[in-house]
Amino acid sequence: MFEFNQLQPLAFHESDRLQLTINEADREFVWHQAQHHSNPISRYNAYLNGVCLKTFLNWLSEWLAEEAFPQPSVWHGQDIASIWEVVNGTAFQIGETRLVLIPSDEGELEEFCVPQEWVDIPNWSADYYLPVQVNLDGDDGECWIELCGFATHRQLKNDGRYNAGDRTYCLAIEELTESLTVMQLTFGLNLQQEVSPLPSLSEGEAAKLLQLLSDSSIYSPRLRVTFEQWAAFLANDELRQLLYGKRLGILEKKEVASGLIFSTQDRENLVHRVKSYLHEGWQTVEGIVEKLGTLEPNLVYALEGNQRYRDGYSSSHNKIPTLIELLKDKRNKGNQWRVAELLGRVEPGNAEAIAALTDLLQTTQDDILRRQAAVSLGKIDPKNASAGLRVGKIINLEMRLDTERVVLVVTLFPEGSDKTNVHLRVSPVRSQTLPPNLELLVLDEGGEIFGEERTDMVNDSLEYEFTADLGDYFQVKVALQQVSVTEDFTI
């Protein structure tokens, strides 16, 4: 069971309140992400919720690694922005138990107000609701979140004061249970009050609501129609995501015989979209090599027997026509890979290099060559629809007596209009091989593992490849013994 008073690192403020320091890198990343919203209010709402999500989830994941509980996941983590655009709050799932955090930056909280959506929409309702006081005004070390207790769904329904003006259920802070240990002791109990089912929306009603609510000058679309209409609309995942897209101006409506469909317009290509999700610590592979002062470890092909492939081409071979001729020689995959890599270093916009890389992408059946061609294309023609991206991060696995350093490299390139090839590689930083029993895990939005690789005694790298749809959320975890590092991605 939960033993919050035994967890480290914890800071308790005013008896049993849990206070957690906000990481500055997380703040910067979340602020950047929050710009993908339609107006200042929704951007700030996304900022507050994003800070809470990162800070709380980091702490909760570390704690659960030591306990016999399922790893937590963010409910609708793959499209959480579509929720933050219109509603305050973030839900976390731990097995069958759901928690909802409601952040506020209004200083000392006197009242806890929960948006009606989290209480009266059947598939949104939770077991526990936690008010979070957010302090973002201090210096880096003074920015924190504080959990001010919790209420149950039943308590909100039975004892909460309903405010029709902003559609919230409210309780005084004094009415909450402050100790999270008490929440722990009630895990698994049925603490939800029955709520009424939602009405169904016809296709015509949904289309009218979408047209009305997609006006981004309406800062609170949740209050523009009856709650029943709004709840039925919001509970539909597809409609909610379409609303988010239209409010940001990235969707165009098309009328077809079978009803309404939507197509993306002016969608950012993969390079620009993925860069917006990468935060502090991620960099190009070249940047990592420079930082480490060594060649990138185990670089796809071991180009043995020819010094020029390790140290670079001579000046005569750096001429683009010569490189393109070498690229056409399919007898030596190593040569082709190195040429594709070198073409990514030429002057951006070079038409010959772009054409050669595009041709390689379309003709080769070798996955490694296709990845490198897409990555090089992304360097010299970032707006190209076939452009890919390769980034890496140094992972420090800090164990009791030692720190193991590895590099996690993520390569992505488009496969069609709405799918992305994802290739993961973990390599050692200084040694020739990875430590035994190192794990590379890939988890879906529900925290379920769908990809797993583990080292034996002689692995020089771990690799895993899969295809993701646009909007997919997944986590990559690198684990050794009892230590792990998890990175979040949304395609």
What tens digit of pLDDT does each residue of 9-65 get? 334 444 568 899 998 888 888 888 888 898 889 999 999 999 999 999 988 887 766
User: Does residue 401 or residue 86 have the better pLDDT?
Assistant: 86
Closest CA to 47 of 28, 31, 36: 31
**Residues 36, 276 contacting (CB under 8 angstroms):** yes
What is the CA 252 to chain-centroid distance, rounded?
Answer: 25
User: Does residue 252 or residue 76 have the better pLDDT?
Assistant: 76
> What's the pLDDT tens digit per position in 235-291?
999 899 899 988 987 644 333 233 333 333 334 555 655 555 555 567 877 777 777
Question: Residue 305's pLDDT is what?
Answer: 29
How far, in Å, CA of 341 to CA of 97, rounded?
48
User: What's the fold here for domain 268-294+388-491?
Assistant: Immunoglobulin-like (2.60.40)
Q: Domain limits of the chain?
A: 4-185, 203-264, 268-294+388-491, 298-385
What is the CA 329 to chain-centroid distance, rounded?
Answer: 40
Number of helices and strands (H, E) in the chain? Answer: 16, 22
Q: If you average pLDDT over residues 167-190, what whole number do you get?
A: 88
How far, in Å, CA of 262 to CA of 255, rounded?
9
How far, in Å, CA of 115 to CA of 142, rounded?
28
Which residues are CB-neighbours of 96 under 8 A, at least 6 positions away?
Answer: 188
The half-sphere exposure of 402 on its side-chain side, counting CA atoms within 13 A, is 5
Do the domains spanning 268-294+388-491 and 298-385 agree at the CATH topology level? no
Q: If you average pLDDT over residues 190-194, what whole number do you get?
A: 88
Closest CA to 412 of 282, 229, 296: 282
3-state helix, strand, coil in the chain (%, to 5): 35, 25, 40
Question: Residue 138's pLDDT is what?
Answer: 65
Mean pLDDT value across the chain: 81
Could you tell me what percent of the chain has a pLDDT over 70? 82
> What's the pLDDT tens digit per position in 391-441?
888 888 876 666 788 999 999 888 876 788 999 999 888 788 898 999 999
Question: Residue 145's pLDDT is what?
Answer: 94
Which residues are CB-neighbours of 143 under 8 A, at least 6 positions away?
Answer: 21, 22, 24, 27, 135, 136, 137
For residue 205, the tally of other CB atoms under 10 A from its CB is 14
Question: Residue 301's pLDDT is what?
Answer: 33
> Does the pLDDT at position 160 exceed 50?
yes
Please list the alpha-helical segments (H only) found in 71-141. Answer: 80-84, 117-120
Phi, psi (deg, nearest 5) at residue 356? -65, -45
**Residues 27, 143 contacting (CB under 8 angstroms):** yes
Q: If you average pLDDT over residues 357-366, what whole number do you get?
A: 88
> What's the pLDDT tens digit per position in 440-473?
999 987 788 999 999 987 888 899 999 988 778 8
Which residues are CB-neighbours of 226 under 8 A, at least 6 positions away?
Answer: none
Closest CA to 176 of 204, 196, 156: 156
Question: Residue 386's pLDDT is what?
Answer: 86
Q: If you average pLDDT over residues 338-350, what whole number do you get?
A: 88
CATH number of 298-385: 1.25.10
Which residues are CB-neighbours of 160 under 8 A, at least 6 positions away?
Answer: 114, 119, 151, 169, 170, 171
Q: Is the dihedral of CA 288, 293, 298, 304 positive or negative?
A: positive
Question: Residue 217's pLDDT is what?
Answer: 87
Q: What is the per-residue burial (b if ≥16 Cβ within 10 Å, else e) of 61-95? A: bebbeeeebebbbbbbbbbbbbbbbbbbbbbbbbe
- The neighbouring-strand residues paired with 468 are 420
> What's the pLDDT tens digit per position in 208-227?
999 999 998 899 999 999 99
Question: Residue 42's pLDDT is what?
Answer: 93
Candidate ranges 114-123, 213-222, 253-262, 303-312; pick with highest mean pLDDT: 114-123
- Fill in the amino acid letter for 464: Y
How far, in Å, CA of 420 to CA of 254, rounded?
25
